[in-house]
Chain A
Amino acid sequence: MRFSGLRVLKEGLTGNKGWRPHWRDPAPKPEYDLVIIGGGGHGLSTAYYLARDHGLTNVAVLERGYIGGGNIGRNTTIVRANYFLQGNSEFYSHSLKLWEGLEEDLNYNVMHSQRGILNLFHSDGQRDAAARRGNMMLSQGDDAILLGREELRAKVPFLNFDDQRFPLYGALYHPRGGTARHDAVAWGYARGADSRGVDLIQNCEVTGIDVENGRVTGVQTVRGPIRAKKVAMVAAGRSSQVAAMAGMRLPIESHILQAFVTEGLKPVIDHVITFGMGHFYISQSDKGGLVFGGDLDFYASYAARGNLPKVEHVMEAGMALMPMIGKARVLRSWGGIMDMSPDGSPIIDRTHIDGLYVNCGWNYGGFKAVPASGNVFAHLLATDQYHPAATRFRLDRFRTGRGILDEEGTGSQHNLH
């Protein structure tokens, strides 16, 4: 089933009776070439690129709940390529390019909106750091523009320019950054993988990983055992529990990150705005809700909800930056479970077990990475070679100390990134 304007018109005129489910609901087969544990954004995009780029379709994606029910269905939807360190910058640049062709590729409207991102700064020192970051983004081939105070005011006049503690000196503007509709990203990849023959198996929790003589042979699930030549663990949020089934301890601590949505409003915020000093960022969804969030609650948690001190902090930061936000009423809040790695960067690698691979440690930056993460992970799974855009996300970098990707320079503590 192809989507097109003509199709929408035809269905509209004939009572919308022609639409069909976007993917099948198959039972698991006893054996696959490759099994992906985790049907979130990263698992689905991995399956899609395995089929599209490598012709591997005897593949199953095993999802404990339902497709799109994890962090891919609950995040603040920001897409950007404004990283500084080599290792990160080429990867996120690769991802942004995939985003820019994603809707045509998937024949699916993921509502990718390149509305631009504004990273605010408040001092001469921060301006220097922003200029340096901007130059690194330009040298990567992406876009960055340093805005002064009055240029910033012309774009976002509603900010509080006279805040005493954090006066606005300007912003680093990333015009190709923006947002996308998170659910549609999961659905588009699911539909694309399924239509190429990948089995998406929901309500299929993995309960064990079978390893014989140092080689993976399959998985145990609540729907029976499944044999597989290769197994890919892509379960950010539950990475540690999945890896424990293979007897592994990962350099991951799970933390909680809260986000908030207001009632729908007329368009008031045209960009994504980040207020790093207040740990606050905001954008407006196409439905009209203001979508905003802050920093971690800072303690390890799988509760998928946070506590009130962080709620208060985020609301205060929002009020300090844009007092007009006080008129909006918050509809709901939620807490996502974040795989926090010791350097704030992800892991996409083999493990010490033959045929077992891991993709985890997305901290709070996983959404924008969904296309590239699947793309480079599929490359690794299919060819056993690292993709040129992801050569540095090694699992052993913490043990060896080589290639640490600490973008913020905050050290090895998991909750400081």
Chain B
Amino acid sequence: MRITCPHCGDRDSREFSYKGHALALERPAPDAGAEAWDDYVHLRENPAGETRDLWHHHFGCGAWLVVTRNTLTHDVLGCELASEARR
């Protein structure tokens, strides 16, 4: 599996560490309530197919990235900076 980092180009997946679903970017407000926080921290759609997840270019530029990926085939379909995906 190879991931194309917007800063560094096409790189081996072992340069990256995995955080989880890109849901992590949608942090609820501190007072959003237990249900919203449970949803954010624990519950997952967990798709068998296309997903967006958060990777850290640990042994590269250090950027947080949102990678679009197929969980059934391991195809990497796209990659953008988390700072831009967030807007």
A interface vs B, CB < 8 Å? 238, 240-241, 244, 249-254, 298-303, 307, 309, 342, 398-400, 412-415
Docked CA distance A176–B43 (Å):
36
Q: Are B1 and A307 in contact (CB under 8 A)?
A: yes
Q: Are A399 and B18 in contact (CB under 8 A)?
A: no
Q: Are A240 and B13 in contact (CB under 8 A)?
A: no
With contacts A254-B71, A309-B14 taken as known, whether A238 is within 8 angstroms of B43 at the C-beta atoms is no
B70: nearest chain-A partner, CB-CB: A303
Q: Are B35 and A399 in contact (CB under 8 A)?
A: yes
Interface check B68, CB cutoff 8 A: no
Docked CA distance A400–B34 (Å):
8
Docked CA distance A309–B59 (Å):
14
Interface check B48, CB cutoff 8 A: yes
- The proximity string for B residues 25-52 relative to A, scoring 1 for CB distances below 8 Å and 0 otherwise, is 0000000001100110111111110010
Contacts of B48 in A (CB 8 A): 238, 240-241, 254, 302
Q: Are A240 and B45 in contact (CB under 8 A)?
A: yes
Q: Are A414 and B71 in contact (CB under 8 A)?
A: no
Residue from A298, A399, A415 in contact with B42 in the complex, judged by beta carbons closer than 8 Å: A399
With contacts A309-B14, A398-B38 taken as known, whether A253 is within 8 angstroms of B43 at the C-beta atoms is no
Contacts of B55 in A (CB 8 A): 299
Q: Are A250 and B44 in contact (CB under 8 A)?
A: yes
Contacts of A254 in B (CB 8 A): 46, 48, 71
B17: nearest chain-A partner, CB-CB: A298
With contacts A253-B20, A253-B21, A309-B14 taken as known, whether A303 is within 8 angstroms of B42 at the C-beta atoms is no
Contacts of A298 in B (CB 8 A): 17-18
Q: Are B42 and A412 in contact (CB under 8 A)?
A: yes
Docked CA distance A402–B35 (Å):
15
With contacts A300-B71, A301-B71 taken as known, whether A251 is within 8 angstroms of B44 at the C-beta atoms is yes
